[in-house]
Each structure stands twice: as structure tokens, then as C-alpha cells.
Amino acid sequence: MGIYSGIFNEQTVRKYKDRELFIRYIKRVAPFKKNVLLISLFVLISTIAEVINPLLVGVAVDELSKINRNIVVATVAGFGYLLLSLIIWIMFFFQRREIGKFAPFFLDKLRMDIFDKLQEQDMSFFDKYESGRLNSRVSNDALDFGNTTILITDTIGNFLISILTFGILVWLNLTLALITLASVPIILLLMFSLRKLARVISRAYRKSIGNINAAMVESIEGIQVCKNFGQEAIVSEQFNETNKEYFKTGFKITATTHMWRPLLETVSGITLIIIVYFGGHFVLRGITNPGTIFMFILYLQRFFRPIMVVALFFPQLSAGMAAYERILEILDSEPNVKQNSQTFIVDKLEGEVVFSDVDFCYRRGEWVFKGLNLRIEKGEKLAIVGHTGAGKSSVVKLISRYYEYQGGSIKVDGIDIRDVNLDSYRRNLGMVQQDVFLFSGTIEENIRYGRQNASEEDLLQAIRAVHAEELIEYLQDGLQTKIGERGRGLSAGQKQLISFARALLMDPKILILDEATSSVDAYTEAIIQEALEVLLTDRTSIIIAHRLSTILNADRIIVMEKGKIIEEGTHESLLATGGKYGQLYKQYFEHQSLNWQPIRIVQATKSSER
């Protein structure tokens, strides 16, 4: 399936049985029991009125068919019919109004529960789920499950109508009622055969919606790469395949929902013909009167109509429950990052970090670290270098508690980071990454993101410290300049300066620079180097860099390879040993030196002079 092949890897194995889903559903509806009870009351009143109405029609017909007819009785029956019809309409209005109060709040709470649960997850969770698929669960799945709640209230009313109506049928004529009852097993057989099929198709349909959303998000986020390589037509063709799959599953669920209606109507039609045939014989023999048969036929229609609604309820319920299963998969997810049961809040950390025999892997069995030991002194400027995949970023991800380590301990100021309240711990951390993420809004809102209550003076001081005031002065609206999604409208260097100001405003005791200057131009880098002198003062700094300028002044450099620290020291001492750092320096850093000259050019020049 091309670049979208990864989105089809979602597992569709059922984790929840019907009974568990139903119990979980009842618990979720419980806070809205007042609304549910009122809806049930309105449904009950409306149902009773609907059951009585045909009786009044029958009374009027019987009375008008007599030789000595009583117009008053027929008139009263007629007015009674109109009154009950008005009551049915009023009850329907109140029922819908109560649903209007209940359903939006139910859906709002459900979506907030899903959203809050997503905020609790660590980064391993988001490695597993694409953003488009998560968006599908918050929006589409929640909406479909919310609609199921409304569907259930309607079904309860229809079920009550069928039960009460059958009681009336028995009262009117037991023989005809038993003939009617004989058709019910056939209808139930069709209903339950539909139920299992609908469940399977509904799960496939929910998955296809997630695939559409995931493909759409991926296409939009990768639009620049797509255009760079001229792949618009191919991406469109691949999305078309995903869209066709969605169409196929949508067609299947629609067909499944409606394919049984003609069969059910056929069963009810045959039953009606049989009732008319036997009813006519009963009237001719004087066993019953025309009004009774007329009422029976009216009630027969009221008996089958709710049963058809209930039959069609199962595929719609299956769609809702399939959506609920996907929602529960999120709600029941627990983050891998675990803090101990008794944690305490820290105010200000000193910044000493110690790794002791730390084992870590992203996937089981694929170890990144095995027994890693590392001490970072408070206030130390530590630079980490190494080839891609050496484990540099994994070190800072563990310090930031983005992932859980499987063995050993990590301590900050002598305290196990699992014993520290996570929110208070992260308030002492500042991180600037290579791929800067800015939110839609103003520049000021983005700088204040981690400390929204900061004073105006602290805000301006952070901006001046990273020399971002020049950038802001050039913008027409200054700090109130609105930027687009992911900082659209700003250059890479401008976004980087804003991210520096954002990190500095938090005044972190531990500052992490994850290749933070690798995507900026030389002028912006020079500005940032000046700012770094201020940024790195009196705080522990961990620098992962591809720029020579960001590591030259480090107190210590560690060289990592395959998850191990193989060398450490200052820039000069490591170069003097002629080890791995020397090789890395020649590969990545030497050409960034102001004294560096390409050897081949020098030789070519000398050759030409001869």
C-alpha cells in the first residue's frame, strides 16, 4: 500500500466481551441517571398513549357500525384519540429535549476522558499509535458511541410498545395473537444472525475510518517532502486505495444494516395476510366484530414496527460497541512510565544526575543500554557525541522521563526520579530540540507556554538573553504576531530562538540541548552562542550537538557507541588521545573550525603554481 502501509497494522483482536462492554456502559451512563430516568418516564407515558389510541379508534368504529349508534361515545373516543396524540407529541418533545441535555454532556465527558487519558501517556504510547488514528477515536468513535446512547433510549421505548401491544392483542383475540406470536421466532433468528455479522463488519469499518484519518494527517504533515520529490500523483493514488477500502467497508455496513428490512417486512406482511384471512372468517361466523379486527390490525402494525426498529438496532449497536471497544483501548491504557506510590514535590533541584547500571530498551530484547553508568555534576556542561544510534538522545529522554527504564536507577540530587512528583520534576527541566514545535497562536503565548504566569519583566529578560528582541522588532505586531501551525511563517532560526526563550523563561536547573543549533544559519548560530553563555550559567547542561561551537566550551565530553560510554574528557584531552573522538572530530567537526581549509584545494593550488 506504499507509504501508507504502516497504518494498516492496527490489531483488531477483541479484548472485551459483550457483558463487560454493557457493564462499562452502564457505569458511564450512571452520572446521568436523572436524565435517563426522565427520558424513560417520557417514553413510558408516550408508549401507554400509543397503546391506548387504537382502542379508541376501535370503540369509535364499533359504535358507528351499530344501528343504534351513540354519537357521543364516538365523539368522546375521537377527542380522546386527539388528546392522546397531543400527549404523544408533547412526550416526544420532552424526550428529545432531555436527550438534547444529556447527549452533548455525555459526549463532552467521554471526549474529555479520552483526551485526559492521552495526556497521561508516555512517549512509547505515541510511538505505537499514529496521530490520525488517535484523532479518529476522539472524534468519530466518541460520536458514534454517543449516538448509540440515544439509540438505546429509542429502542427501550419500542420494546415497551411491543410488549404492551402484544398484551392488547392477547386481550382482543387469543387465537390471532398466537398466530402473530408464531412469526416472532423467525424475526429473532434473523436478528441474531445479523448481530454477529454486524459486529465483524463494524470493527472493520471503524478501522477503515482510522486509516483514512491517519493517511490524511500523514499526507498533510509530509506535504513538503511530497512536493520536493514530485510525488503528488502517487500519494493521491495511494490515498485513493485507502479511500476505496473505506468505501467498501462503509458499503458493507450499510448493506448489512438494511438488507434485513425487506425480509422482516415480508414476514410481517405474510402474518398480516394470515390475520386478515382468519379475522374475516371470525367476523363472518359472528365470533368477533369488525371493530375488534380493525383494532387488531392497527395493533399488529404497532407490534411489528418496533420489532423492526429493534432488529435494525443490532447493527447500529454493534457499530457503537465497536467504537466503544476502541475507546476503551485508550481509556484502559496505562503509561509505562511509573512513579512510586509515595512521591513528593520538589521546588528547586540542584541538578546532579547519576545513572547507575541503567538498562533500557524501546522494544523488548533490543537493548539500547545495558548497565549504563554516568554521573553529571551539578552546574556541569556535558556534551554527548557519537554516531547516529549511539544512544545520545536516549540519555536525555530517560532524564526527561519520556520513557521507562527497565533496570538500575537514575537519581537527581541523590533522589530516585521515580520518587519525585513528575510535574514538579519536569518544571526543573528545560529542553530545546532540533525539530522545534510551536503552537498556533502568538509568539508571546508560545514563549509563555511553560510558565504562563511569568511577569512582563521575566518575559522580556528571557527574550533579551537569547537575543530574540531583534526578531520581534522586525515583526509588525511584535510579541502579538500570530504564527501558524508548527510555527508556520517563521524561519528555522527564528523558531529556534523562540524555543530558547521558552526554555529559559522556565529557569530550569537542568537544560537539555538536543542538537538545538544544527538547523540554524551561521548568523543565528553566532547569536545563539552568545546567548548560551547566559543560558548555561548556574545550571546543569546536557548538550547533544553536531556543531563544533556547541561543544568546544563543554566542561566534559563523553563519546557514546552502541549504548556505551567509550571515552570522556575535554576537547583537547580527547583529541590528544587520538581515539574515537578524534575520528568523529575529523568526520563531523573539523571542517567547522575557522582554521580549517580543504586539503585538496590547497594541493590543487600548489600544483597550478608550479
- What are residue 383's phi and psi, to 5 degrees? -110, 140
Sheet with 381-385, edge to edge strand ranges: 429-433, 510-514, 540-544, 381-385, 556-561, 564-569
The residue that leads in pLDDT, 127 or 545, is: 127
Residue 326's closest CA among 194, 216, 213, 192?
213
Query: What is the Cα–Cα distance from 250 to 263, expressed in whole angstroms?
Result: 21
The pLDDT value recorded for residue 411 is: 93
Q: Is pLDDT above 50 for 217?
A: yes
The pLDDT value recorded for residue 371 is: 92
Residues 574 and 580: beta-carbon distance below 8 Å: no
Name the band, by pLDDT with cuts 50, 70 and 90, for residue 256.
low
Q: What is the pTM of this model?
A: 0.70
Among the ranges given (62-66, 464-468, 477-481, 523-527), the one the predictor scored with the smallest mean pLDDT: 523-527
Give mean pLDDT, residues 407-428.
90
Q: Is residue 80 included in any domain, yes or no?
A: no
3-state secondary structure of 610: coil
Q: Mean pLDDT over all residues of the chain?
A: 78
Could you give the angle at the alpha carbon of 581 between the alpha carbons of 411 and 514, nearest 5°?
50
The pLDDT value recorded for residue 398 is: 93
The pLDDT value recorded for residue 376 is: 93
Q: Is residue 86 included in any domain, yes or no?
A: no
Q: Is pLDDT above 60 for 186?
A: yes
Query: What is the Cα–Cα distance from 216 to 293, expressed in whole angstroms?
Result: 59
Q: Is residue 455 included in any domain, yes or no?
A: no
Q: Is residue 192 included in any domain, yes or no?
A: yes
Percentage of the chain lying above the pLDDT 90 cut = 10
Residue 321's closest CA among 9, 11, 20, 10?
20
Percentage of the chain lying above the pLDDT 70 cut = 78
Residue 422's closest CA among 490, 481, 339?
339
The residue that leads in pLDDT, 575 or 147, is: 575
Alpha helices in 173-289 (DSSP H): 174-181, 184-221, 223-228, 232-258, 260-284
The residue that leads in pLDDT, 160 or 412, is: 412
Query: What is the Cα–Cα distance from 55 to 531, expressed in whole angstroms?
Result: 88
Q: Is residue 590 included in any domain, yes or no?
A: no
Query: What is the Cα–Cα distance from 585 to 563, expressed in whole angstroms?
Result: 19
Residues 217 and 3: beta-carbon distance below 8 Å: no
The cell for 264 is 422482516
Give mean pLDDT, residues 445-453.
85
The pLDDT value recorded for residue 404 is: 92
The cell for 589 is 567537526
Name the band, by pLDDT with cuts 50, 70 and 90, for residue 27.
confident
Q: Is residue 471 included in any domain, yes or no?
A: no
The total of structural domains in the chain comes to 1
Residues 532 and 503: beta-carbon distance below 8 Å: no
The cell for 103 is 447527549
Q: Is pLDDT above 60 for 82?
A: yes
pLDDT tens per residue across span 352-374: 999 999 999 998 888 999 999 99
3-state helix/strand/coil string of 32-76: HHHHHHHHHHHHHHHHHHHHHHHHHHHHHHHHHHCCCCCHHHHHH
Q: Is pLDDT above 90 for 208?
A: no
Find the radius of gyration of the CA atoms of the chain: 36
**Which CA distances in Å does 217 have to 133, 134, 428?**
9, 11, 33
The residue that leads in pLDDT, 417 or 550, is: 417
The secondary structure of 115-157 as a DSSP string is HHHHHH--HHHHHHS-HHHHHHIIIIIHHHHHHHHHHHHHHHH
Give mean pLDDT, residues 105-116.
83
| Amino acid, single-letter form, for residue 315 | P
Query: What is the Cα–Cα distance from 495 to 507, expressed in whole angstroms?
Result: 19
| Residue whose grid cell is 466518541 | 142
Q: Is residue 492 included in any domain, yes or no?
A: no
Q: Is residue 274 included in any domain, yes or no?
A: yes
- What are residue 395's phi and psi, to 5 degrees? -60, -50
- What are residue 579's phi and psi, to 5 degrees? -95, -145
Beta bridge pairs of residue 514: 433, 544
Residues 272 and 300: beta-carbon distance below 8 Å: yes
Residues 396 and 360: beta-carbon distance below 8 Å: no
Query: What is the Cα–Cα distance from 132 to 275, expressed in whole angstroms?
Result: 55
The residue that leads in pLDDT, 321 or 38, is: 38
Among the ranges given (220-224, 474-478, 493-497), the one the predictor scored with the smallest mean pLDDT: 220-224
Q: Which residue segment(s) compose the domain that 234 sits in?
A: 2-31+104-146+173-331
Q: Is pLDDT above 90 for 158?
A: no
Name the band, by pLDDT with cuts 50, 70 and 90, for residue 265.
confident
Residue 486: count of CB within 10 angstroms of its CB: 15
CATH code of the domain in which 216 resides: 1.20.1560.10
The pLDDT value recorded for residue 409 is: 93
The pLDDT value recorded for residue 471 is: 75
What secondary structure letter does DSSP report for 514? E
